A and B are shown apart, each in its own frame.
Chain A
Amino acid sequence: MTLTRTWLVLVLLTLLALVAGQPGGKAQLGLLGVGLVLLASSFKAILILRNFLGLRHAGGGWQMLLYIYLATIAAGVLGAYALAEAGVLARLR
């Protein structure tokens, strides 16, 4: 993917995440909505790493390490959201 195509996809994904996050809305997004927002953001991060930073030319180990980093954050945030929905951590306060 060329750099300009990458930039265009990043712009589209930013707008998609904004719409999924409901710019003027007050309602909760729900697990699916949060999952979509995180998916769009993680994909953006991968595009920045691979195409802007040029990580696709680095070793496969580095790519895997940074993808695991992104997946850990996304899974942690989604997991924390699910715990909040269930009220598990609120009971520990």
Chain B
Amino acid sequence: MLPDADDPVPEKDPASSDWGPLSTLPGNPMIWILILGELLVFGAFFLFFAFERARDPVLFNQSQLHLDRTVGAANTLVLITSGWLAALGARAEASGRNSRPLLLGSATLGVLFLVIKVREYATEISAGFTIDTNAFFSWYYLLTGFHAAHVVAGVILLTIVAWLRGEENVETGCAVWHMVDLIWVILYPLVYLIR
């Protein structure tokens, strides 16, 4: 049975650690320095993209029509399903159950996301839309490529923590994975939908 119910999650005691406020966050506190840094970098990129679009909305709108919104939505569904499996895995590990199948399932969906993304890139490049085509496509390849690099890192981390289990390891791997998921949930509408 899946560990789906809202099981009580043990609260962390901030006073029991030297990490201060970071101690209340799930996983190893050090990973949160990375996560918060990545969120800031992506957040800045998103705002730059939005204001670059505002400088030339016609170019951005026309270029965006060459992206496949349905494929982007399919990839969103793949990532949120992967995030769901990771969350179930973390819950299973906290309850003393084997989280490995759930974590490996989550990592496999991460690989599926990358396969879909690479096929999407291939379609766009074969249609003549490369990173040099215009400002929209430069931003498109930069943002989605930077995110894809994080997906690769996340898949590797999920595979490692599936192998080297333990509550903190699994929580740490899943925290990174949910950050990757969260970034895509904002990136997809910004790049594919808003026009």
Contact = CB atoms under 8 A, between A and B. Distances in A.
A41 B84 contact: no
Interface residues of A, number: 54
Interface in B17-56: 21, 24-26, 39, 43, 46-47, 50-51, 53-56
Contact of A34 (B77, B181, B194): B194
Contacts of A59: 14, 21, 24
B9 to A, nearest CB: 5
Contact of B80 (A10, A81, A85): A10
A84 B54 contact: yes
A52 B178 contact: yes
B4 A3 contact: yes
A48 B181 contact: yes
Interface stretch (B68-76, B113-121, B159-167): B68-76
B11 A57 contact: yes
Interface in A9-32: 10-11, 14-15, 17-18, 20-21, 23, 26, 28-29
Contacts of B56: 90, 93
A33 B53 CA distance: 17
Contacts of B39: 66, 69
B192 interface: yes
A40 B193 CA distance: 12
B interface residue count range (under 10 / 10 to 19 / 20 to 34 / 35 or more): 35 or more
B127 interface: no
Residue with the highest number of chain A CB atoms closer than 10 Å, among B50, B54, B73, B86: B54
Contact of A14 (B25, B57, B80): B80
B5 A7 contact: no
B143 to A, nearest CB: 13
A62 B25 contact: yes
B2 interface: yes
Contacts of B149: none
Contact of A53 (B4, B5, B175): B175
B182 interface: yes
B9 A45 contact: no
Contact of B81 (A7, A61, A69, A76): A7
Given A52-B178, A57-B11, A58-B24, A37 B84 contact: no
Contacts of A80: 47, 50-51, 53-54
11 contacts: A2-B6, A4-B4, A17-B73, A17-B188, A26-B65, A52-B84, A53-B178, A73-B46, A80-B47, A84-B55, A89-B55
Interface of B: 2, 4-6, 9, 11, 14, 21, 24-26, 39, 43, 46-47, 50-51, 53-57, 61, 65, 69-70, 73, 76-77, 80-81, 83-84, 86-88, 90-91, 174-175, 178-179, 181-182, 185-186, 188-190, 192-195
